């Protein structure tokens, strides 16, 4: 369950800020054709902080409908309020998602014991598998390996998306959990090595732009071909870096817009379009990777 390349899918929007559902369907079909193994709908890259609950749920509902069971769909369902996270999970439970991605509570900086209580309460409230999400660069709070180990004992908590970029952290967690617990990289720059050290897959921002390469990289690692995994990753390292020059998802959206995959690079405030220098940099890289003509 939840192995391989899962794209942290952007949420395309019209110039007026409304969700562009025809563009969303184009992106989903593109990922299915390119071999992406699964989709994460309305995570951070999908602008979950600025989609109200009803819109959040509707984007997930439409994603599940458009995917039509061809690949798994995981839904971003986190909040820094346990009550809100449970409510959001309950709202989405009936639309057919295969799993929930639930982030460490942000801003209020819970203790490790608070994290355990938070995620257990969420997992108790659903029969749908929950994947933990640790991204201290955004949340400030950092879930420790011992906390992950404690939560892994819950029957509904099946894995973690680790975005620390710390490969030693992976080793620490592997030593503390059962072998069926799933490790997904949430840091594109270190994802290749994460896979080579026993990770099961990625939840990737870069996969928005080069989905086939990320899927093939994961497949190579899962087939224990570390040499091929690294060979695939090497030429896209520049994309891993460039897509994060400005806060995600500013540049993934700009890249997809320039590639003709979406009609507008629009984001919800307080996110705005990239600086001109960033635009030019990403466009040059797209040309180098034959993703943009000219």
Residue ranges for the binding site for pyruvate? 45, 203
Closest CA to 199 of 169, 237, 242: 169
Distances in Å between the alpha carbon of 39 and those of 28, 43, 51, 190, 260? Answer: 8, 10, 18, 20, 20
Residue ranges for the binding site? 45, 203
pLDDT of residue 187: 98
Known catalytic residue at 69 = no
Mean pLDDT for 151-158 is 98
Q: Catalytic: which of 133, 253, 257, 258?
A: 133
Between 39-43, 90-94, 130-134, 214-218, the lowest mean confidence (pLDDT) is in 90-94
Q: Catalytic: which of 161, 216, 253, 258?
A: 161
pLDDT of residue 128 exceeding 80, the answer is yes
Tens digit of pLDDT for each residue in 232-283? 999 999 999 999 999 999 999 999 999 999 999 999 999 999 999 999 999 9
Known catalytic residue at 6 = no
**Model confidence band, residue 206 (pLDDT cutoffs 50, 70, 90):** very high
Q: All domains of the chain, ordered by start, with CATH?
A: 4-232 (3.20.20.70)
pLDDT of residue 148 exceeding 80, the answer is yes
pLDDT of residue 294 exceeding 70, the answer is no
pLDDT of residue 217: 98
pLDDT of residue 1: 79
């Amino acid at each position: 369950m939840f192995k391989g390349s899962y794209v942290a899918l952007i949420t395309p929007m019209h110039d007026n800020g409304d969700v562009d559902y025809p563009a969303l369907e184009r992106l989903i079909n593109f990922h299915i054709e390119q071999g992406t193994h699964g989709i994460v709908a309305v995570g951070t890259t999908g602008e979950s902080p600025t989609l109200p609950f009803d819109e959040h749920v509707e984007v997930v509902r439409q994603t599940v409908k458009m995917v039509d069971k061809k690949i798994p769909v995981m839904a971003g369902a986190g909040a820094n309020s346990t009550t809100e996270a449970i409510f959001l999970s309950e709202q989405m439970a009936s639309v057919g998602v295969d799993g929930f991605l639930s982030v460490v509570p942000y801003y209020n900086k819970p203790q490790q014991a608070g994290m355990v209580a938070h995620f257990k309460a969420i997992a108790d409230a659903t029969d749908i598998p929950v994947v933990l999400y640790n991204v201290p660069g955004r949340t400030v709070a950092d879930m420790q390996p011992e906390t992950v180990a404690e939560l892994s004992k819950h029957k509904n908590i099946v894995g973690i998306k680790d975005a620390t970029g710390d490969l030693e952290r992976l080793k620490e967690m592997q030593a503390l959990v059962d072998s069926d617990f799933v490790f997904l990289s949430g840091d594109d720059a270190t994802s290749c090595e994460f896979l080579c050290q026993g990770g099961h897959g990625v939840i990737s921002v870069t996969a928005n732009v080069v989905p086939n390469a990320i899927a093939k990289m994961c497949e190579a690692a899962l087939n224990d071909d570390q040499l091929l995994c690294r060979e695939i990753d090497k030429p896209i390292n520049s994309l891993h870096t460039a897509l994060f020059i400005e806060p995600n998802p500013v540049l993934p959206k700009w890249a997809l817009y320039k590639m003709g995959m979406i009609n507008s690079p629009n984001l919800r405030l307080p996110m705005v379009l990239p600086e001109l220098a960033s635009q030019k940099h990403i466009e040059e890289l797209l040309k180098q990777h034959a993703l943009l003509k000219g």
